[in-house]
Structure 1
Amino acid sequence: MPKRLLPPLAALALVAGLATACSDPTPDAEPLAEDLATALEALDLSTVPLDATEAQSQVTAITEDLGERRPTVEVSDVEQGETTADVTLAYAWPVADDVTWSYETQARLDLVEDTWQVHWDPALLVADMGPDERLEIERVTPVRGNVLAGDGTVLVGPRAVQRIGIDKTLVPAARQATSARDLARLVGVDAPDFVRSVAAAGPRAFVEAIVLRTADAPSSGRIEAILGARSLDDELPLAPTASFAAPILGTVGEATAELIEQSDGRLEVGDRTGLSGLQLRYDESLRGRDGWVITRVSEVEDDPANPAPEIEPSTAFEQPPEPGEPLRTTFSRQAQSAAERILSGSRPASALVALRASDGAILAAAVNDRAGGQPIANYGRYAPGSTFKLVAALGLLRAGATPSTTLSCPRAVVVDGKRFENYDGYPASANGRIPLRSAIAQSCNTAMINARGRIDQAGLADAAASLGMGVDQDLGFPAYFGEVPTPAETRTEHAASMIGQGRITAAPLTMATVVASITSGATTVPYLLPEVAQPEVESTLTKAEASDLRAMMRATVAQGSGRVLQGLGPGIGAKTGTAEYGSPVRTHAWMVASDPRHDLAVAVFVQNGDSGSGVAGPLLRKFLQAVR
C-alpha cells in the first residue's frame, strides 16, 4: 500500500514543531553568578563575560585605597527570567582583624545569543556606588585610657605639648642647615643629628626637633625668631611632671620600627603607642580599639569653565573607635610628689619607696634625676647593709633567741682572716655584752657576726621569705624582691650575710616590703595594679615575731642609730644601714621606717653616703613629715 503523503503545509508545520521540541532550554544563570562572585573576591573581572570594557579599570580605581584587602563574596539568591537574571551578592570585607564590613548588592545578568553575560554597574561592587566615585578608608585612633591614682584621680592623661621643628616650606634651602642648628641649640637637642634630619626630609616636610610640655617650651617668639622654626599645639598622655614615677609609668610616643614589627599589624608608622613602663606593657588595653570609616568620594574632575556641583562624600561603612580602658594604680599623688621633691635635693642617685603597710599598696616609688631614668626604686640591686639585720634578728628569734638574749659586741671580729668592724662613730658604751634589741638599735656588726653560729644561711633565707624578701612574684611590672643566696660559699660570706653584705642584694622596694611585713604582722607582697591578679602568699610570720621586731625598731629610734626620727610621734620604728661596695670602697646609705599610726612602711636608699642615719635619715624624716 503506498505511503500517505502529508500535504505540503502540514509537512512544514511538523518539521517546525519537531525543531522547536528539540531546541536547548534557556541556560542556567547560576554558574555565571558563582563565577562572578569568585571574580569579585579577587577584584579581577577578566574571567567573566561583561558588557563594558571599562569595568576592570573602575574596579581597580574604586578599591585602590583598600590596599590588599579582599572580600569574601557569596551568591545568596538568583532570580532567573527568560532573558535576565537578578543576582544577590553578599560581601564581607575584612577591614581589620576584628572588624568586618558586610553588605549585599544586586547584579544583573543578561542573556545574549543564548549566553549569559554580566551587566556592569559599579553598584554591584558597592551599593549605591556611582561610576565617578571611589572608596577611601580611614583608621580612627581612639582616645587613650588614663592612668589613675589610688583615689581614682588622673595621673597620666592628655596634657598640652608643643611639637617644635623646622617647616622646610618657610626657609630657603641655603638657610635650612643654619636654622636647624639654631633651633637645636634653643631646645637642647643634638645639632648635627637634627641638621641631617632636616636635610634628609622632603622639601615640604615639617621636621620635628622635640616635643615639650607647653609649660616647658620656649616662647613662640623665641622659636619663630629662627627662620622656618615653628611650634605646633598638640596633646600627649603625660604625668603631672616629667619625672613623676617615670621609670614605672613609662612614656607614650611614635611607634618605633621594632614595635611595629612586633605588633602583628596592630601598629602602623606614625601611630602613638607606649614606649616603656606600664604604658608599653598595657598598651593594648590603654590604646583602645581603632575605629574605621569607609567613604564614597567623587572623582569628577572640575572644569573651571563649567564647574560641577560639589558632591559631599558619603559614608559607606563606619565602625566607631572604642576608647582605651583606664589603668588604676595604687600611687598616691601626694606621696609620690613629696618623695620626688625631697629626693631632688640629694646629689647622689637616690630612691624612696613607701607602702601602705596594712596591705602592701605602693604609694610612692621615686627616684631622683641622678638615677638617669633607671628604675632603681623597684628594680635596683644593692647590698642592703644593716637594714638586713631585721631579717637576721628574725632568724635568731627562730633559733631560740629573745630580744633580751645577750650577744658579744667587741670593736672588731676576725673570721677566717677577714676583719669586720663596727661603723665609724659607733658608741663605745654599746660595746661588750649587749642584748639583741640593743645590737639592732645600735647596729652592732660584730654582735650579729658573733651570733652567726646560731643560724645558717638557709635559716636567713627562710626568715627573709617570711618578710617578703627573696621570693620572686609577678606584680604586673618589673619588681626585684632581693636575694639571699644559699648556701653561703664560705664562713666569711655567711658572716657578711648577717650584716647584709656578701652576695645579699635588695631593691628599696624589697626593704620597704620587709618593713611592711613587720608593721602589719604578716608576710606582705607589695602591689601597684589592683586589677592585676595578685599572688596569694600564706604568711609564715607570727604575730609574736613581728611584735618583737617592731619593738627593736622603736628602740632604734628611741636610743639607737635612728634618733633622727625622734619627735615624729609614738610608734615610729626604724633601722639604719650602710653597705660597702666597689673598689675603691664606697658605701650605700639606707634607712627604713615603720609608721603604724599612718599605716606606712618606707625605705630610702642613697647610692653614695657615709651613713644611713646621716644621709638617708634626713630624707626619710622630711618624707614622713610631708605625708601626714
Structure 2
Amino acid sequence: MKRGVVGVVVIALVAVGVVEGTAIRRDRARRQSRREAVALVESWLRLWSRSDWTAMRRLVDAPPRSFVRTYSDASATLGIQQARYRHGVVRFEGADPGATFTAQLQLEGFGPYRCAGRLPIRRRDGTWRVRWTPAVLHPQLTGGRRFDRARLFAPRAGLLDAAGAPLDVRDPDLRTIAGAVGKATPQQAAALGAPYRAGDVVGQSGLQSAYERRLAGEPASELRVVEGDGAVVETLLRTAGGPPESVQTGIDPRIQRVAGQALQGVTQPAALVAIDAPSGEVRAVVSRPAGGFPRAIQGRYPPGSTFKIVTATAALASGESPDASVSCPPEVVVGGRRFVNAEGEAFGPIPFRTAFYRSCNTAFINVATGLPADALGAAAATFGFGGYDLPVPAFSARFPPPKDVVERAASAIGQARVEASPLHMTSVAAGVSSGTWKAPRLVRSAPPGPVKAIPVAPTLRELMRLVVTSGTGTAANVAGAPVYGKTGTAEFGTRQPPQTHAWFVGFRSDLAFAVLVEGGGFGGEVAAPLAARFLQLL
C-alpha cells in the first residue's frame, strides 16, 4: 500500500473515532440531562404532596416573593386533606421542555377531585429548574386568577306557631323565645364548625340559636376559579347542600293573645303560662313588664302552697286517705321553728281533703313529718323537680334534700329552698290533668323529655276541684267547663311580716295554666281572679 493511501486511512479511522466518541459523550450527556429533568419533576411533585412550599421554592428559577403564600392560600381554599401527584412524559428537549402530571386530591367538603396540569422546566447553567407560573397550580390560574370556595345559603327557614303560621315575633314574649340572628363572631363560627365563617348570619339567642343548623340548612358549596375581581371563570366542583327546615312551636296565637290580655293592668311583675296537658306543648308564655325579664320561663320562686299538690301526692302514695282526719291547729313548732297558717286560721281536726282545699299549712306539716324520709323527694321527682333541658334559657324547678326537720317541714309547704318557675308549675297542673307528668315542650319536633305516671292523679283532681268550688280558689270558679286549681301564697325576703308572691295553678279541660304575681299577696285574692279573667277571655 502506498504511503499516501495509508495516511488517508489512518486519518479516516481517527475521524471516525472522534465522531463516535463525541456521539457517545453526547448520548451520555443527553441521558444524564433526562435523568436530572425527571429527578426535578419527581422532587417537585413529592414536595408538593408534602406541602413543603419552601423546599419547592428552591427548585424554581427566579421564584416570586409570593410563591409560598400563593401555595399556602390555594391549599387552604381548596381544603386539601390528601394529595397525590403523578407525572407523565418528561420532555427535556426542544423549545418547551416540561412534564405533564395528574393531581388526585381529597378536598374537605367536596371529596375526590382529579385534574391534569403541566410543569414547565428550563436548564440554566447546567441545572434543571422549574419555570413556574401560577398555571402550574391549575391551568386556569392565569392573569391574576385564583381559587375561591363559595357557600350558597338558601333563605333561612322560619319559626312557626302551632297552626303552622309564622310565629308572631312582634309579641315581646315570643320574640324572647324566638331569639335573634346576627353576624357570627370568629369565636361563634369556630364553635359552630364547618361550614360556618365569621360574618355569616346565625342565630344569636333563643330558638334561632338552638336550631341554627336546621333553620339555616346546609349551604351548597362551589369550588371555583375566579378573576381578581371575583368574577367566576369556571366552577370546578359543586355540592348540593341541604334545604333549610322550619321549626314549629306549640304556641297557640289565640291563647297567647288572651294570656297577655289577662294580665293587662297588672302593675307588679307577673307571669302567665299555658300548657296543653296531653302533649306537654307550651301554648302561651307571658311575662310582665313586657320586654323585660322573662320570668315566666326563667324566674325562680318559692312555689308556696301550690307545692301542696306534690306533698299531697307523697301523702296519698304513702297510704293517706282523703277522708283521714288531720289536725289543723293555728300553729305548729318543728325543730324549734314556729309555723302558722295564713291570717292565723285554725280548723281543728278536719279531713285531709279539707286541709287541702283550705290550704292549711300546719296540717300539711303534721302530715309531712309522719311520711317516710324519702317520700316528699320522690313525689317532687315525679313532678319533674330536679331539672330537664329546654332549647332556650329557662329554669325548671329544684327540690334540694331537706338538711333537717325544720327544712323538711318548710319544704312541705313550698318554702325553704324549694324553687320553681311559672312554666314548671304549669307542668305540675298539667300532670294532674293528664295523669302523667311531662317535661314542657316548646318545639313540636323536640324529642320527648322525662315522663312520669301519677297514679294518684284522680284523687288530686278531686282535691283541686274542691279548691275552686269550696276553698281558697273560688275566685277562679267561672262558668263553663269545670276549673281545677290550687292557690299559693309564697313567702320571700327578710321583712316581717314576710312579703308574699301570689300563685294560682290549675287546668280546665286539657289546658293547664299558672299565674304568678310577684309580691302580689294572697294567691286566692290576686292570682286566682287573673286566672278567671284568662279563662273567661278564652
Fold conserved (TM > 0.5)? yes
Q: Residues 55-204 of structure 1: matches in 2 within 5 Å?
A: 56=64, 69=77, 74-81=84-91, 83=93, 84-90=97-103, 92=105, 98-99=109-110, 102=113, 104-110=115-121, 112=123, 116-134=128-146, 140-155=152-167
Quick one: structure 1 residues 373 and 107, their matched pair in 2 at CA, closer, same or farther if it must change by over 3 Å?
same
Deviation string 1:568-611 (CA, Å, 9 cap, x unpaired) is 42332111111111022210111111223xx1121222211111
Aligned to 1:409: 328
Deviation, structure 1 residue 31: 2.8
Quick one: structure 1 residues 417 and 58, their matched pair in 2 at CA, closer, same or farther if it must change by over 3 Å?
closer
Aligned to 2:361: 445
Q: Residues 519-530 of structure 1: matches in 2 within 5 Å?
A: 519-530=433-444
Deviation string 1:5-62 (CA, Å, 9 cap, x unpaired) is 9643134224433443453225144432234343695666632244xx5x63686897
State the superposition RMSD in angstroms: 3.6
Which SS does the other structure have where 1:56 is aligned?
coil
Aligned to 2:184: 255
Match of 2:58 among 41, 44, 47: 47
Match of 1:618 among 519, 529, 533: 529
Quick one: structure 1 residues 618 and 240, their matched pair in 2 at CA, closer, same or farther if it must change by over 3 Å?
same
Distance 1:59 1:335 in 2: 66
Q: TM-score, normalised to structure 1's length?
A: 0.71
Aligned to 2:15: 12
Deviation, structure 1 residue 134: 4.8
Which SS does the other structure have where 2:227 is aligned?
strand
Deviation, structure 1 residue 489: 1.2
Structure 2: segments with no counterpart, 5+ residues:
1-5
Which SS does the other structure have where 1:245 is aligned?
helix
Matched to 1:296, the amino acid is: V
The yes-or-no answer on 1:419 pairing with 2:349 is no
Which SS does the other structure have where 1:486 is aligned?
coil
Distance 2:191 2:172 in 1: 28
Match of 1:27 among 12, 19, 34: 34
Quick one: structure 1 residues 538 and 31, their matched pair in 2 at CA, closer, same or farther if it must change by over 3 Å?
farther
Quick one: structure 1 residues 484 and 60, their matched pair in 2 at CA, closer, same or farther if it must change by over 3 Å?
closer
Structure 1: segments with no counterpart, 5+ residues:
156-238, 300-310
Matched to 1:145, the amino acid is: A
Q: Residues 185-584 of structure 1: matches in 2 within 5 Å?
A: 239-241=168-170, 243-256=172-185, 259=188, 262-263=191-192, 268-290=197-219, 291=221, 294-297=224-227, 313-317=232-236, 319=238, 322-369=242-289, 372-374=292-294, 376-424=295-343, 431-466=347-382, 468-490=383-405, 492-535=406-449, 537=451, 539=453, 541-542=454-455, 545-584=456-495
Distance 2:380 2:426 in 1: 13
Give identity over the alignment, percent. 30
Aligned to 2:3: none
Aligned to 1:218: none
Distance 1:488 1:58 in 2: 71
Deviation, structure 1 residue 547: 0.7
Matched to 2:19, the amino acid is: A
Matched to 2:375, the amino acid is: G
Q: TM-score, normalised to structure 2's length?
A: 0.82
Deviation string 1:368-391 (CA, Å, 9 cap, x unpaired) is 2368334x3233321111111111
8 A contact 2:60–2:132 mirrored in 1? no
More displaced 10-residue stretch of structure 1: 495-504 or 11-20: 11-20
Distance 1:534 1:369 in 2: 32
Give the count of matched residue pairs. Answer: 514
